[in-house]
């Protein structure tokens, strides 16, 4: 398996372009199943999860291809209603096939997705919503079999928590349902809003995306679309934190700062200089930073997908800080690896207590999940000596050209193919 080797100590400087959002592109790719018309997406990142989804769509019956950052999806054959284990096991977002196929075909068989390194992530909230819309659900031979032979019917669906995946799945299912659907306690993320924009471009009637209540009036059919994916706010935040950790001066382009307000506010509070103009952010270290506590929350709160990277930053700031994780129950797997690099941190329940150290020291470390891997790369950029990072296939799922972008900013980082 490939590894990333980092020799720390270089200050990041220069300018790089941020990629499109993985978490926006994936549900929009699945939205192409709602129409037999041609669909075109631009600003699509080059990621393992995108490739997996394209392979998935081709299996289902969509002729889907990617060239550079453009994806074209067209219907080439009768859609297949079965999503087998070999495809679903590669990516949890594969469960987003349920909504559009149920809406379009009236049935879908999806292999159970299994567990996740950062928590159970149950899909029962998705299934409960489909039941309220008139679907019948069976569990047989490892497959979830969902039927709605007479079509789905609009309903009021109130989530017990604001699940992003469930909000997306119900959106994808309800646009072709009979009548009106209301999603109550809906997720508010920018990626949800981007999906709603695409669905409306296709002829759907979706209102309220970005608020706690989304209303969908069902329509009989949908058309194709041409859409540019929003920028990746998690990638952007990762490079902002990397700049802070390396005492750098970096400009990030193709960004949407309004999606990252709380992270920007926390970095400014710590002492970082940040200037925003249109779709650019300049991040400049001008003085020693101070420790800042964070608590992860659903959007617009501090993103759980930035928790690990923020922890890496706090490990190098003099003083004490606390990171509280409230979104996932098992998202501290990176703590032990940061300790291997010399970090002074300890876990107590859902909190991590950090005392900043003067220096980290390079060591072999292992990636447990996507964002944990990002934190280890950032720590390696600052550590004395060599940090060798294995199991980087996790990083390839969510960071487009990571080592190339860091190299362009002056980092001593390379990928070793084995």
Question: By the 8 A CB rule, do 152 and 129 touch?
Answer: no
Q: How far apart are CA 315 and CA 50, in angstroms?
A: 33
Residue with tokens 């490892």: 142
How far, in Å, CA of 261 to CA of 258, rounded? Answer: 6
Side-by-side strand order, sheet with 213-217: 156-158, 180-184, 213-217, 205-207
Residue 243: phi, psi to the nearest 5? -65, -45
- Cα–Cα dist 90/39, whole Å: 24
Crossing angle of helices 98-105 and 22-31, in 10° steps, is 10
According to DSSP H, which parts of 185-302 are helical? 190-201, 233-245, 261-270
Q: Which residues participate in catalysis according to the annotation?
A: 116
CA distance 39 to 214: 24
What sign results for the dihedral spanned by CA atoms 165, 218, 24, 138?
positive
If residue 143 lies in a helix (H) or strand (E), which one and from where to where?
A: strand 143-147
Which two structure tokens, joined as six digits, stand for 199?
Answer: 């669905």
């Amino acid at each position: 398996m490939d590894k990333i080797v980092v020799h720390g100590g270089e200050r990041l400087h220069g300018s790089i372009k941020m990629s499109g959002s993985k978490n926006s592109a994936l549900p929009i790719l699945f939205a192409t199943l709602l129409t037999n018309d041609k669909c075109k997406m631009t600003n699509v990142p080059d990621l393992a999860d995108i490739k997996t989804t394209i392979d998935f769509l081709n299996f289902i019956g969509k002729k889907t291809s990617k060239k550079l950052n453009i994806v074209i999806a067209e219907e080439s054959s009768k859609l297949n209603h079965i999503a087998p284990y070999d495809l679903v096991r590669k990516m949890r977002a594969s469960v987003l096939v349920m909504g559009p196929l149920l809406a379009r075909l009236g049935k879908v068989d999806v292999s159970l997705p299994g567990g996740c390194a950062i928590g159970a992530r149950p899909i029962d909230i998705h299934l409960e919503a489909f039941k309220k819309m008139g679907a019948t659900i069976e569990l047989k031979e490892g497959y979830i079999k969902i039927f709605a032979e007479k079509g789905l019917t609009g309903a009021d669906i109130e989530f017990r928590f604001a699940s992003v995946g469930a909000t997306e799945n119900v959106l994808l299912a309800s646009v072709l349902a009979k009548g009106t659907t209301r999603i109550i306690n809906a997720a508010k993320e920018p990626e949800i809003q981007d999906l709603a924009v695409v669905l409306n471009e296709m002829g759907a009637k979706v209102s309220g995306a970005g608020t706690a209540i989304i209303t969908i009036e069902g329509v009989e059919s949908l058309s194709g679309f041409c859409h540019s994916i929003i920028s990746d706010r998690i990638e952007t935040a990762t490079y902002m934190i990397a700049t802070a950790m390396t005492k750098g001066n970096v400009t990030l382009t193709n960004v949407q700062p309004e999606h990252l307000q709380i992270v920007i506010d926390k970095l400014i509070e710590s002492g970082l200089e940040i200037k925003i103009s249109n779709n650019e952010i300049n991040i400049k270290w001008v003085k020693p930073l101070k420790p800042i506590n964070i608590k992860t929350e659903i959007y617009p709160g501090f993103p759980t997908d930035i928790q690990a990277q923020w922890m890496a930053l706090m490990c190098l700031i003099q003083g004490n800080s606390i990171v509280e994780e409230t979104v996932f129950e098992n998202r501290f797997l990176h703590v032990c690896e940061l300790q291997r690099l010399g970090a002074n941190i300890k876990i107590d329940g859902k909190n991590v207590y950090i005392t900043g150290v003067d220096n980290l020291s390079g060591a072999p470390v292992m990636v447990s999940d996507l964002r944990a891997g990002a934190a280890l790369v950032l720590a390696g950029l600052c550590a004395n000596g060599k940090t060798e990072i294995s199991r980087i296939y996790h990083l390839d799922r969510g960071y487009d050209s990571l080592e190339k972008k860091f190299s362009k900013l002056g980092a001593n980082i390379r990928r070793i193919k084995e």
